[in-house]
Copies of this chain bind each other. A is one copy, B any other.
Amino acid sequence: MNAPAQIRQDAALSPAQTLWDLTGDDMAAVDALILDRMQSSVGMIPDLAQHLVGAGGKRLRPLLTITAAQLCGYASCSKGGTAHHKLAAAVEFIHSATLLHDDVVDESALRRGKKPANLIWGNSASILVGDFLFARAFNLMVETGSMEALGILSNASSVIAEGEVQQLAALRNLAMTEETYMQVIEAKTAALFAAATEVAPVIADCPATERDALREYGLKLGLAFQLVDDALDYGGMASALGKSVGDDFREGKMTLPVIRALETASEDDKAFWRRVIVDHDQKDVDLEKAVSMLRASGALESTMELAKRYSQDAADALNVFPQSSLRDTLKELAGFVVARIS
C-alpha cells in the first residue's frame, strides 16, 4: 500500500479537509507565507525545508490557528489584519524545527512517508536548518506585534524542549510512570496544539472564556493525538494503515500501552519487556509478540479509551461558542483524530 496516497485519501475525507474548504483563502495565504519565509540565499535551506514543509503537508497546527481565528471573528475585529497568517506559519515552523531535530534524535527511518531530511542532507544540516526555521518562526511572531502571542509560543517552545529532554532521559526506563508519560506528551505535543489555538483569541482580543475554551480544545486534542499515535505505533487495535509500526519499540521509548501492560504483567512478561526495552536485545519476532501482549492485556484498548476521553473533552470545550460549521467541524476533527485508531 502506498503510504502517502493513503494519507491524502484520509485527508480528503477528513474534517481537516472540510476546514481547509471552510476557511477560504486563509490557508492558501499561510501556505504562501510558509514558502516565502523558508527562502534563503543559502540554497541548502530551502532545499531541505521544501522536503519537509513544502506544499502538500497536512498543516494541522496552522489550520487550528486559522480556524480558531475565524471562530473568534479576528478578521472583522478592530485588530484584524494578517497576524493570524503569521502566527499560523510560525506554528508550522516551530513544529517543523522540532521534527528536524527529532529525526536526528530518534534516528527515524521514515517521516511523513518520506525519507527524513537527515538521511539525505545529514544530521548537521537537519540541526541547523531546524534552528533556522525556529528563528524564522520568531521573526514572524515579532512582525505581528503581539507580545502576548509571542509569550504563549515562546513558552510552548521551551516546554516542548523540556518534554523532549524528559522523554530522552526516560528512554529504556521500564520504571517510567504514567504520570511522567502524561507530562511528556503534554509538553512535547499538546503544548503546541494548545498554543496554536490560544494565540488566535489573543490577537482577536476575545473574552477570556473563549480563550480558555480554545486553549483547552488544543490541549486535549493534542493529548488525544499523541495517545493515538503511540497506540498506532503498535498497530492500534487492527492492522495499521500505511503507518510504519514499531518505531517506539525499536527505540526503547516508553509509551502508555507498554506502561499499562507492565502494570498487570506476569514475571515472564516483565522479563520480556526488560530484555527488549532495557537491554535493547530485540529479535525479529519480538515486535509481533509485543503487539499480542499489548492487545491481550487490554493496554492498547485502555490507551484508546483515554484518547477518546480527551477527544470528547476537546469537543466539549467548544460548547462556549454558538453553533456554527467551523465549531462543529473542529468538534468532528477531535473525533476524527481518535477514529484513526480502529
List residues of chain A with CB under 8 Å of any chain B CB. 40-45, 97-98, 101, 104-105, 123-125, 127-129, 131-132, 134-136, 138-139, 141-142, 145, 147, 150-151, 154-155, 157-158, 160-162, 164-166, 168-169
Contacts and interface: CB of A to CB of B under 8 A. Distances in A.
Contacts of A104: 123-124, 127
Contact of A132 (B123, B129, B162): B162
A86 B285 CA distance: 54
A305 B125 CA distance: 33
Contacts of A151: 139, 142
A82 B286 CA distance: 57
A150 B143 CA distance: 10
Number of copies: 2
A86 to B, nearest CB: 13
A42 B158 CA distance: 12
Contact of A129 (B40, B138, B165): B165
Contact of A169 (B43, B123, B132, B165): B43
Contacts of A128: 101, 105, 161, 164-165, 168
A154 B127 contact: no
